[in-house]
Structure 1
């Protein structure tokens, strides 16, 4: 069974002579419980796909079915209880004047989650922080700790799908591995489905089973991570990406 089905997706910005086509004729499926990576150079359209699924980009055509719901221009409240997004920058994604407790409790109030007090403690344990961080402000946290809070907020309503937009790229290299390992553990424990955007093939290889390679808004090819590690790409563009990242994918 597929958690996500995308068919003939086109996304654009602007109109008339100013129209810019960001995603062109993209189709892919993600099985329930799978982790699927989107890779490519900056501007290839990979983050735009995530933002369109999340309902942050209204100008698109095609068909998208996510968590059993065929998507239109607006997202239902039920959609956001099943699908959540973790953004690239943990510094920008948390309100500087809200404690961790308030960030998490507001997310749960939105979705009518019961027993918020107990759930906050459980979430902080899940992301490796513990209750000692509950009443801290973002400026009292490191980048890695802030991203753990952002992940906890995404998990607050117990979703089945996480959209991960370069969740480690703004972090120090030593912290990146910790967050990736956390995401691996959370996926297993909560039976989550991931779509992960990254420009780093090593990161995608650590977390995903398959990757879609993008260039100029289109899919160049889809390959299994094992094929990626063996450098078995059909497209010259994918081979170039793999060869330039050869040290990070093994």
Structure 2
């Protein structure tokens, strides 16, 4: 579903150029969920933005459903296949647009018909009833805003969702609800996910495979079972897993 080969991403020009991602390669099969983990600044979100076409300074190869993409220009067909859910639900929705307008504009842009029926179905799928249709972002909680953002991404009926820390801005009590919603949607629609998170527990719950990033490079790949068991090969991945365990009294 997604192939990334020898991806390099940079910002600026020499001598101030910053290399954010170097020689990253991984693949995500149909229906699979793939995680990118690592400390802040390791390049996880940068990879997602390059795939989504939000960054134009990159080299290497990106292919979606077997079709290579180039530069930052993406066709309508690409956006019907790939959608992204951003980290901050407070910033990703227009403050003066109602939920109805957010979803209807997206559906119109994707050339969909039966807009009213589709909006009703989308709101039901993300656990929001018709009572939320004409509300504005300031009238919604953080979890409700993220559900609207997920509904907007699903409006195009994509096959691949790019999830950039979709729960990190939410209360802990709400995070599980959103994660379970995403897991249910993936199962129902057979979607592929690429999930960026600094929370290894989230990745272990949501993903089949994952890559560990450090300083812009992928240093190790493993499956979720190995992550849960703490079976990392490299020193950095082992240290990352140990740090995620939190406070240990004996230490």
Q: Does the alignment reach a TM-score above 0.5?
A: yes
Correspondence for 2:43: 45
Give TM-score scaled by structure 1 length. Answer: 0.97
Correspondence for 1:68: 66
Q: Secondary structure at the match of 2:53?
A: coil
Contact 1:10 1:24 in 2 (8 A): yes
Give TM-score scaled by structure 2 length. Answer: 0.97
Correspondence for 1:33: 31
Aligned residues: 246
Deviation at 1:89, TM superposition (A): 0.3
Correspondence for 1:175: 174
Distance 1:190 1:105 in 2: 21
Correspondence for 2:85: 86
Contact 1:123 1:155 in 2 (8 A): yes
Correspondence for 2:245: 246
Deviation at 1:207, TM superposition (A): 0.5
Correspondence for 2:12: 14
Q: Secondary structure at the match of 1:196?
A: strand
Per-residue CA deviations over 1:60-119 (Å, capped at 9, x if unaligned) read: 000110123201112111000110000000000001111100000000010101101000
Per-residue CA deviations over 1:182-240 (Å, capped at 9, x if unaligned) read: 00000001110000000000111110011100000000100001001111101100000
Q: Secondary structure at the match of 2:77?
A: helix
List gaps (5 residues or longer) in structure 2.
none
Deviation at 1:247, TM superposition (A): 6.3
Q: CA RMSD in A?
A: 1.0
Correspondence for 2:150: 151
Distance 1:178 1:87 in 2: 17
Q: Secondary structure at the match of 1:18?
A: coil
Distance 2:151 2:191 in 1: 14
Deviation at 1:130, TM superposition (A): 1.1
- Trace 1:118-197 onto structure 2 (pairs within 5 A): 118-197=117-196
Q: Which runs of 4+ in 1 moved over 6 A?
A: none
